[in-house]
A = this chain, B = another copy of it.
Amino acid sequence: MAKIVECIPNFSEGRNAETLQALVAVAQSVPGAALLDWSADASHNRSVFTLAGAPEAVAEAAFQLCKLAAELIDLRTHTGEHPRMGATDVIPFVPIREMDMKECIALAETLAERVSGELAIPVFLYESAARNTQRQNLSTVRKGQFEGMAKKMLSPDWAPDFGEAAPHPSAGVTAIGARMPLIAFNINLDTDNIEVANAIAKSIRGSSGGYKHCKAMGVTLAERNIVQVSMNMVNFEGTPLYRVFEAVRFEAARWGVRILGSEIVGLTPVKALADSAAYYLQLEDFEYGAQVLEQRF
């Protein structure tokens, strides 16, 4: 079966159509790497590209995008609502098929070496690729943003993992990393009481003592007159979908509230669904790699 990696580079450009089209053209130019999706946000002045395919091809496309972004985007004149420190701000690699996290970390390191060496852009490794716990969290790494990076990088704590301890004059600094796929999973409740959704969200999210790999908050769906527990599942193997679904069910029961349904927004790896099926169908000794037909290619 062919290896597939996903890569989601974020660029500090969400307004200039010409620049965006040039990035799209490069993203589509490497055989073996597919551009699955891209979107730009004018108020954030930022764009997000989703590439996937063969690891070497995807890494090559990411490098070419980085190179073009350094030519076309100048952080010295960049304004927008979203925090940023580089023309190419972040590049996460995500294992999808026949890949483990270690291979994604190796891809991130190889790309970091090339970006710093060939483009003179210093790189921080973040999330699973981070070399110390301080650099795991992207917002900690990016704190100070482009304008504060020159000073920040002089501190021994913030020497980059690759490249010189000074930002590229116009292209700044790039964070390159590896992480698990993120699943946007929302559960709808048969109540319009946002306090119920907030209380359930608090009970299940890792940051307030719940499941480690779940981020959650309550959200009102005004058009349906209901509330929702809106989640980002940042590691579906560590915290499976069925587990938070059942936890939301028993927490909601405290208020006599039922689950109406759930939704996955955007993409999910199919294994996240298969793992939940295995729970509910009480499958004994099921071996995903050996028994799922599609895994055999």
Contacts and interface: CB of A to CB of B under 8 A. Distances in A.
Interface string A263-287: 1101111110111111011111110
Interface string A1-23: 00010100000000000000000
Interface stretch (A123-131, A139-147, A207-215, A288-296): A288-296
Number of chain copies forming the complex: 2
Nearest to A282: B261
A278 B285 contact: no
Contacts of A281: 241-242, 245, 262, 273, 276
A268 B281 CA distance: 14
A263 B188 CA distance: 31
A263 B264 CA distance: 27
A255 interface: no
A52 interface: yes
**Prevailing SS type, chain A contact patch:** mixed
Contacts of A291: 264, 266-268
Nearest to A259: B282
Contacts of A199: none
Contacts of A271: 270
Contacts of A284: 188, 261-263
B297 A283 contact: no
Given A52-B293, A296-B52, A297-B52, A270 B274 contact: yes
Interface residues of A, number: 45
Name which of A274, A284, A294 has the most chain B CB atoms within 10 A of its CB.
A294
Interface string A168-202: 00000000000001000000100000000000000
Contacts of A269: 292-294
A94 to B, nearest CB: 9
A119 interface: no
Given A52-B297, A270-B292, 9 more contacts: A4-B294, A4-B297, A241-B277, A264-B291, A267-B296, A270-B271, A273-B292, A276-B281, A280-B280
